[in-house]
Amino acid sequence: MKLIYTGKTKDVYSKEDGNYLLKFKDDVTGTDGVFDPGANTVGLSIEGAGKAGLRLTELFFKRINEEGIPTHFVEADVENAAMTVKPAEVFGKGLEVILRYKAVGSFFKRYGKYCDEGADLEGFVEVTLKDDERNDPPITEDGLEMLGIMTKEEYKELVNLTRKIGEIVKSEMKKKDLELYDIKFEFGRVGEDKHIALIDEISGGNMRAYKNGKYIEPLELEKLMLEKI
């Protein structure tokens, strides 16, 4: 196995059979020793965080695959905090797709003149570039096409898949009385036909969720989602 990328929370290896191995680390992002899923620096290490993130990722990716939506998921080895995936070509230098069901966070900061905080949104989708130096700027469909990052057709497919995946995640969470406010995904081109597939992970740090009106932080969210009733 060859290490091809060292990320903030995962290391990426290339396997002999052509697949990739994502190794989930116990490092979590944050600032000054405080866990903050939105931060762009590693803040601290929490024992078991890698395995918990992988277990939740496995749960969601299996459900999404069952619905016939393409993903990179092949198999999970929880003991070793490792997930085998199909290699993907990312769009440009990588992007994030954000799906919002509630007007909170940066959405409300920007558009607060037109909505109440916490108002319902019918699956608002926006794309941001993964660019730490420039604070992950948002980009429009036109921008994506003009900068050669993706075609308009790919954009349509991306938005369509995002909404479908969001509904699956939302309904899985509802089973545990968790209400999904917003979530971020990564996509890439997979296989010879370069079809768009969901990649990376879906763990507690990728989303904002509430239970009985109270914010549930990522590690607690993973615990609630993974415990047997």
Ligand X SMILES: Nc1ncnc2c1ncn2[C@@H]1O[C@H](COP(=O)(O)OP(=O)(O)OP(=O)(O)O)[C@@H](O)[C@H]1O
Query: Site residues (CB under 6 A) for ligand X?
Result: 5, 7-10, 12, 20, 72, 85-88, 90, 94, 130, 186, 188, 199-200
CB closer to ligand X out of 80 and 171: 80
CB closer to ligand X out of 4 and 147: 4
CB closer to ligand X out of 10 and 100: 10
For residue 22, the minimal CB distance to ligand X (Å) is: 6
Q: Is 66 exposed, middle or buried (0-12, 13-18, 19+ CB in 10 A)?
A: exposed
φ, ψ dihedrals at 190, nearest 5°: -125, 145
21 bridge partner residues: 13, 84
For residue 190, the minimal CB distance to ligand X (Å) is: 7
The sign one gets for the Cα dihedral 145, 150, 156, 162 is negative
For residue 170, the minimal CB distance to ligand X (Å) is: 22
For residue 8, the minimal CB distance to ligand X (Å) is: 3
CB closer to ligand X out of 20 and 35: 20
CB closer to ligand X out of 22 and 178: 22
Count, in order, helices (H) and strands (E) of the chain.
Answer: 5, 16
For residue 198, the minimal CB distance to ligand X (Å) is: 9
Classified as helix, coil or strand, 154 is helix
Q: Cα–Cα distance between 106 and 8 in angstroms, integer?
A: 23
Q: Cα–Cα distance between 28 and 25 in angstroms, integer?
A: 8
Please state the separation of Cα 124 from the chain's center in Å: 15
